[in-house]
Amino acid sequence: MAIETLSSQQSAAWKDRVLPPVEKVAEGVWALPVPIPNNPLVYTYCYAIADGTGVVLIDPGWDGKDQYLALTSALADLGFKVADIHGLAITHYHRDHIGLAPALLAKNPDAWIAMHGEDLRAIKRFYTNAVDLGTGVDPNLNIARVYGVPEDRWAEVESLQVGSSKGGSKNDSMDLYKQAMSQLPENIHVLDDGSELPLEDGRVTAMWTPGHTYGHSVFVRDEDKLFFSGDHVLPTITPNIGLDSGAITHSLGDYLRSLEKIGQLDEDVAVLPAHGFRFTGLHDRKVELVEHHHERLGEIRARMEATDDHSVYSIAAGLHWSRGFESLHNFNLFAALAETAAHMHYLGIDIGVGSLVGKD
Ligand SMILES: [Zn+2]
């Protein structure tokens, strides 16, 4: 079944990188775009699911005044007040997904939050500063050295370390996670594979899909074949694999297994991703994503044979990047190196990172 958009409005907005309109996507389910500031992804879809007398949100989106207003006024148009939010289901802990959770929970302390235990642990690790928020490893270790980054570029990777003033919005993220930990409600549902969301009405189950983050979860509503895919499966882009703290080394193996797992779902499910547009053709998209990573592995094997320098940096420099390796700086450079490291680890190549990865 070929990949086909289910919304011409959403795919047009994605193509133009503008905010799409709020749309009803199924009976009692709406897609509410929440803007992400200064980011090529432009928005995250928050999905609102009618739940008896109120509503449940999957991924409330990035935090901020404008975002809060965008989300709450879209909900108001649908007839829901903040007090009507019964709960928040989180696909993974990244800021463009969980960001608004603390603000919503502060206004509505009776609401529950549901997320996988591994992503809760990741937030705690950031909160306690046991690992670096930018690199996901022990902040005392020099990831740039381990990856073989030439000395004249160390500052770019080190700028991501905690305490650096060059880290951009990173310190805001630290505040966010602190806030998130201090405002977690009593009513917290730690998800595992197969857990059901505590809905008043209807049945939505979680599936554990580690890869993009170790605790990444997707949600499935069987009755009308809805698949809330988070960042696990996106229509046109591939999620970053290799940045998650605690799981950098095995993230690609996890991700490929998680792709196999969603092959159990019906071929004609409606895929409701966090970015892009909703579509059908899950199995074809799955095959494309698997192929993408196998091509990457093939490229890495070829590069390994072509050069004697088997450092992560040297291998990454020889791979194809959409805007060229030279154009990668700071965070993007580190993301490319982490992704290369995850692929090298998958091939059984010792990258010297195993001992660096943050532990609880
Ligand atoms: Zn995302």
Lowest mean pLDDT among 10-24, 186-200, 235-249, 297-311: 235-249
Give phi and psi for 85, each to the nearest 5: -75, 115
Query: Can you tell me the mean pLDDT for 72-99?
Result: 96
Homologous superfamily of domain range 4-139+165-281:
Ribonuclease Z/Hydroxyacylglutathione hydrolase-like (3.60.15.10)
**pLDDT level of residue 227 (50, 70, 90 thresholds):** very high
Among 60, 93, 68, smallest CA distance to 173 is for 93
More confident residue, 221 or 183: 221
Q: What is the pLDDT of residue 147?
A: 87
The alpha carbon of 10 and the centre of ligand 1 are apart by a number of angstroms equal to: 16
Residue 292 in this model has a pLDDT that exceeds 60:
yes
The alpha carbon of 351 and the centre of ligand 1 are apart by a number of angstroms equal to: 27
Residue 137 in this model has a pLDDT that exceeds 80:
no
Cα 353 to Cα 344: distance, rounded to the nearest angstrom = 11
The alpha carbon of 326 and the centre of ligand 1 are apart by a number of angstroms equal to: 25
The alpha carbon of 151 and the centre of ligand 1 are apart by a number of angstroms equal to: 32
Q: What is the pLDDT of residue 4?
A: 97
The alpha carbon of 236 and the centre of ligand 1 are apart by a number of angstroms equal to: 13
The alpha carbon of 307 and the centre of ligand 1 are apart by a number of angstroms equal to: 35
The alpha carbon of 36 and the centre of ligand 1 are apart by a number of angstroms equal to: 10
Residue 72 in this model has a pLDDT that exceeds 80:
yes
Query: Can you tell me the mean pLDDT for 104-118?
Result: 93
The alpha carbon of 312 and the centre of ligand 1 are apart by a number of angstroms equal to: 25
Query: Can you tell me the mean pLDDT for 322-327?
Result: 92
Query: Can you tell me the mean pLDDT for 95-109?
Result: 92
Residue 179 in this model has a pLDDT that exceeds 80:
no
Q: Quote the pTM value.
A: 0.91
Query: Can you tell me the mean pLDDT for 319-331?
Result: 91
The alpha carbon of 152 and the centre of ligand 1 are apart by a number of angstroms equal to: 31
**pLDDT level of residue 300 (50, 70, 90 thresholds):** very high
As a three-state string, the secondary structure of the chain is CCCEECCHHHHHHHHHCCCCCCEEEECCEEEEEEECCCCCCCEEEEEEEEECCEEEEECCCCCCHHHHHHHHHHHHHCCCCHHHEEEEECCCCCHHHHCCHHHHHHHCCCCEEEEEHHHHHHHHHHHCCCCCCCCCECCCCCHHHHCCCCHHHHHHHHCCCCCCCCCCCHHHHHHHHHHHHHCCCCCEEEECCCCECCCCCCCCEEEECCCCCCCCEEEEEHHHCEEEEECCCCCCCCCCCCCCCCCCCCHHHHHHHHHHHHCCCCCCCEEEECCCCCEECHHHHHHHHHHHHHHHHHHHHHHHHHCCCCCHHHHHHCCCCCCCHHHCCHHHHHHHHHHHHHHHHHCCCCCCCHHHECCC
The alpha carbon of 148 and the centre of ligand 1 are apart by a number of angstroms equal to: 29
Residue 239 in this model has a pLDDT that exceeds 60:
yes
**pLDDT level of residue 163 (50, 70, 90 thresholds):** very low
Lowest mean pLDDT among 79-83, 150-154, 237-241: 150-154
Domain boundaries in the chain?
Answer: 4-139+165-281
Q: How many residues does the chain have?
A: 360
The alpha carbon of 234 and the centre of ligand 1 are apart by a number of angstroms equal to: 10
The alpha carbon of 97 and the centre of ligand 1 are apart by a number of angstroms equal to: 6
The alpha carbon of 213 and the centre of ligand 1 are apart by a number of angstroms equal to: 11
Q: Do residues 251 and 224 lie in contact, with contact meaning Cβ atoms separated by under 8 Å?
A: no
Residue 129 in this model has a pLDDT that exceeds 70:
no
Torsion sign over Cα 323, 329, 335, 336:
positive
